[in-house]
Amino acid sequence: MTMIVRGLTPSDTDVWVRVRRAALPFMVTTPEQVAFELRTAHPDKKMRLLIAEEDGEVIGTAYAGIAYDSTEPGQSYVTPHVHPDRRGRGAGSLMLRAAEEHLAAEGATTVYSWAMDTPESRTFAERRGYRPTRSAHFQRLDLANGPLPELQELPAGVELRTAADFLDDPRPMFEADAETTSDEPGDISVDFSDYEDWINHTWNHPLLDRGLSTVVMVDGQVAAFTAAQTDGLTRYASGMTGTLRAFRGRGFAKLAKTDSLHRARAAGYAEAFTSNDADNGPMLAVNKWFGYEICATEVRHVRKLG
């Protein structure tokens, strides 16, 4: 048996996606997305996409990078994934070691990683010096066959639009994303102020379906939104759902998600996925109301380098 770890090349995107879908069936990923991220990564991110090969067969993937937009220097991340049928052969260890060496050489002092909430994955992380910090739940909704809440009559002054309506000037969407993201639970604090970087890596991301991303407007202002990600086939994911602080407590997140899910079903999407921090009670309650069911849990881990 010969095991090697090497960098991803543009010709590897199809097999990368095949392994990732097998390891994480509750995430939306496409070859176009991987190629986009490989091609457009911010230079300060120092991103590495790695694959593990056993006797010429790709059996694992890993992504690593510097959190260049963090308010605290030295923060980084890496998460390896190995095909379920090829675990226990050393691929995860080799990819993790290669990624950590790369990150340390680029000045990282702290590295964060996700591990599935299984005895095997948690033991793998802890044996390599990682300690758990928090958890997140993946959730799935049977969009093709399950019931959806009915669309409600809009209150006075409220209208529904889509992200596609902001193509000429996306800045209101950027400002809404910045405010709501800053309130999300997380380990790495983010300086969310670079509009051009957001345009390049969020607004122009190939998974973002602007036509299915619903925006709630109140008296002409963005009040809430849900960002839809799709694979163009059958899978839909909520990339982010947020309500601006001045408009919270009025049901606008439910309104945005209800509209987006109905239109996603009408467009032929069969499965809907989302993920929330385990301590984010309000959004977990919203998703339970829609009929989402927890299908997996992952645990965030951290390790000091050096």
Average pLDDT along the chain: 95
Q: What pLDDT is attached to residue 192? A: 82
Q: pLDDT digit string (tens) for 84-108?
A: 999 999 999 999 999 999 999 999 9
Determine the pLDDT at residue 193.
Answer: 87
pLDDT of residue 189: 73
Structure tokens at 11: 């010709």
DSSP string computed for 18-68 = HHHHHH-TTS---HHHHHHHHHH--GGG--EEEEEEETTEEEEEEEEEE-T
Give the model's pLDDT for residue 237.
98
The pLDDT of residue 25 is above 70: yes
Domain 141-298: CATH architecture, name and number where available: 3-Layer(aba) Sandwich (3.40)
Within 8 A by CB and 6+ apart from 270, the residues are: 142, 143, 144, 234, 235
Name the CA dihedral angle for 303, 92, 51, 18, rounded to a multiple of 10 degrees. Answer: -110
H or E stretch covering 263: helix 252-266
* Ranges in the chain annotated CATH 3.40.630.30: 3-108, 141-298
pLDDT at residue number 71: 87
Q: Confidence band (pLDDT; 50, 70, 90) for 271?
A: very high
> pLDDT tens digit string along 168-210?
999 999 999 999 988 776 677 777 889 999 999 999 999 999 9
- pTM for this model (two decimals): 0.93
For a pLDDT cut of 90, what percent of the chain falls above it? 92
Furthest-apart CA atoms within the chain: distance in Å: 67
Residue bearing tokens 């691929």: 91
DSSP 3-state assignment of 137?
strand
Residue 217 pLDDT: 98
Whether residue 145 contacts residue 274, with contact meaning beta carbons closer than 8 Å, is answered with: no
Give domain 3-108's CATH architecture: 3-Layer(aba) Sandwich (3.40)
Residue 171: per-residue pLDDT: 98
Chain centre to alpha carbon of residue 172: 22
Strand 75-82 versus strand 110-116 pairing type: parallel
Cα 192 from Cα 178, distance rounded (Å): 6
pLDDT tops 90 at residue 125: yes
Geometric angle at alpha carbon 39, from 36 and 43, rounded to 5°: 125
Measured distance CA(257)–CA(262) in Å, rounded: 8
Measured at the CA of 235, the angle between CA 63 and CA 69, to 5 degrees, comes to 35
How far is the C-alpha of 244 from the C-alpha of 266, rounded, in Å?
Answer: 28
